[in-house]
Chain A
Amino acid sequence: MTGPVLLDVREMAVAFGGVKAVDGLSFAVHEGEVLSVIGPNGAGKTSAFNCITGFYKPTSGRVTFAGADITGKRPALIAASGIARTFQNLRLFGDLTVLDNVRAGMHVRIRQNVFDAMLHTPRYWRSEDAATQEAHRWLDFVGARYDRAAQIRNLPYGEQRRVEIARALAREPKMLLLDEPAAGLNHGEKEQLLALLRRIAGLGTAVVLIEHDMGLVMEVSERIVVLSYGKEIADGTPAEVRANPAVIEAYLGAEDAEAHHEAERIAAQADPVLADSASIQDASATDDSAAAPAGREGQP
């Protein structure tokens, strides 16, 4: 499941004017791993993604992917090395069809040149057919169920999200970066997303997730990196991160016993197993510990 290091981020920093969006961030992603990047708003998560994928040029630090240095390279070149991403605000090609959007993902792999297109050579027909069939396969994989010849802008939000993931998967990437894939989804759709994430992990693709939905994060992640003010403050398994006082402080802002236990309670609800952990049995917590057993029956 976890193999050698695939993405290595070292002391990465980027600043806009005086604002340090990312400030000395370091973490690594292993092959086939499912990693979540969490943190309060403004912690620099999307900025980090943008730096890694080349949309921002880091002002310092290094990013290595599959052994090659990709720091500050052009997004197209970084993408070509095996990284695919989705965007926080869903950047699909609105006027184009669902199938065309997925074809964008596999674009660089389609073997067809201008003369093939002009003269409708056998290679043209073959490459077009192959592309269409593969596009359909990826759409099936993500569970796309609407008319695939329709303009993507006309379809419901949940479907658009699915198609965006299909488009990224069509790149056959070694690593997939998903920026808040659960944003705006209802409970049922989140369940489907969880199943999809597991399927993607099953393909052997490394998945890095920016997400705010803690339930989802705890369910699907093998490792979590927590960002605050542009730097990582915790990096470990979900259990380790949940118990980390620095993380709690970053989210809640202060040493606050009640708030601390509220956080524990929420965490316990997310993963019933943890309700038994020692950190809950704090003597000063009276009311809140009553909530912990209830959490055991709760759903993820």
Chain B
Amino acid sequence: MDYYLQLVINGLFLGSFYGLVALGYSMVYGIIKLLNFAHGDIYMLGAFVGYTMLTVGAGALGGGTLVSLLIVMLLAMVLTGTVGLVLERVAYRPLRGAPRLSVLITAVGASFALEYGVAVGYGPNPRAYPVGVGGGSLSIFGARITVAQLAMMAIAMVLMVGLDALVRKTRSGRAMRAISQDPRACLLMGVNVDQVISRTFFIGSALAGAAGVMAGAYYGKIDFLMGFIIGLKAFTAAVIGGIGNLRGAVLGAIVLGLLESFGVAYLGSQWRDVFAFGFLILFLTVRPTGLLGERVTERV
């Protein structure tokens, strides 16, 4: 029993990471119907930004406490949010109205640029995060969960709930939902579509950046390609939950985290990614709308 519970806890923990990244993916897709291929690399960027801040400002931040990590995380969120803004402005906005293929290819280019930009700046070798998150662990019904894991899951939950509130309760959230239904009508209604899109990119990227910092702190090691696989996993999570649907993204992330956790236990960790992608393909073949979302097949 405690073995399964452990798997569940591991799965939920994984799921909270995937969820933060999947939310950004789903948000952007919902509003401009673009799969931002570079989104995973924003997560990587967040990790590196956090790394830089921690190494450079080690003294000023008072060492590796949770509080200093939170501060770094918030700063990193602002920075990655801005990068997301710039990306939208520079790479995607000029192509509004261009065929979908063009935008996708641009996104691939952006992803490459981010990855190898970091490789050029920091070198291709992995870097160690200067702060480890220590702390003890708790025992719940025989399963172990560390304080670090709890803290991160809590932070992730706060962010996700915050986003949910933003989308449901505020004006800009309403604007986002309206634009995802019908952008032209919104323009006619006087909604500043460009601004809302920029804001969406900012928020989505900030969430990914937060996840990046947490991943760096938790796993201790970062490298310039870490965003690639995360991006694919986040996409898988979004698809499982129903792409374009924010609650679905979170649900999908949790489902994916659990699937991976159990899958790794039975198949071995070297098959983890294959297992995850297998599920992606399965869902797209059998239930393309995901658990909560919209059609993805061509009309005919």
Interface residues of A (CB under 8 A from B): 54-55, 74-75
Which B residues are CB-close (under 8 A) to A55? 299-300
Which B residues are CB-close (under 8 A) to A75? 300
A101 to chain B, nearest CB (A): 18
| Bound: A74/B298 CA distance, A | 13
B32 to chain A, nearest CB (A): 22
Which A residues are CB-close (under 8 A) to B300? 54-55, 74-75
Q: List 5 A-B contacts (CB under 8 A).
A: A54-B300, A55-B299, A55-B300, A74-B300, A75-B300
B293 to chain A, nearest CB (A): 15
Interface residues on B, range: under 10
Contact flags B287-300 to A (C-beta < 8 A → 1, else 0): 00000000000011
| Bound: A55/B300 CA distance, A | 7
Total cross-chain contacts (CB, 8 A)? 5
Main secondary structure of the interface of A (DSSP, over half): loop
B250 to chain A, nearest CB (A): 26
| Bound: A75/B300 CA distance, A | 8
| Bound: A74/B300 CA distance, A | 7
Q: Which of chain A's residues has its CB closest to B300's CB?
A: A75
Docked complex: B109-143 residues within 8 A CB-CB of A? none
| Bound: A35/B300 CA distance, A | 27
A217 to chain B, nearest CB (A): 30
Which B residues are CB-close (under 8 A) to A54? 300
| Bound: A54/B300 CA distance, A | 8
Which B residues are CB-close (under 8 A) to A74? 300
Which A residues are CB-close (under 8 A) to B299? 55
Docked complex: B245-300 residues within 8 A CB-CB of A? 299-300
A196 to chain B, nearest CB (A): 29
A207 to chain B, nearest CB (A): 24
| Bound: A55/B298 CA distance, A | 11
B58 to chain A, nearest CB (A): 57
B122 to chain A, nearest CB (A): 43
Please list the 5 inter-chain residue pairs (A to B) with the smallest Cβ-Cβ separation, ordered nearest first. A75-B300, A55-B300, A74-B300, A55-B299, A54-B300
B88 to chain A, nearest CB (A): 27
| Bound: A75/B298 CA distance, A | 13
| Bound: A75/B299 CA distance, A | 11
| Bound: A165/B300 CA distance, A | 22
| Bound: A54/B299 CA distance, A | 11
B105 to chain A, nearest CB (A): 17
| Bound: A294/B299 CA distance, A | 51
B102 to chain A, nearest CB (A): 13
A19 to chain B, nearest CB (A): 15
Q: Which of chain A's residues has its CB closest to B299's CB?
A: A55
B99 to chain A, nearest CB (A): 10
Q: Which of chain B's residues has its CB closest to A76's CB?
A: B300
A62 to chain B, nearest CB (A): 21
B71 to chain A, nearest CB (A): 48
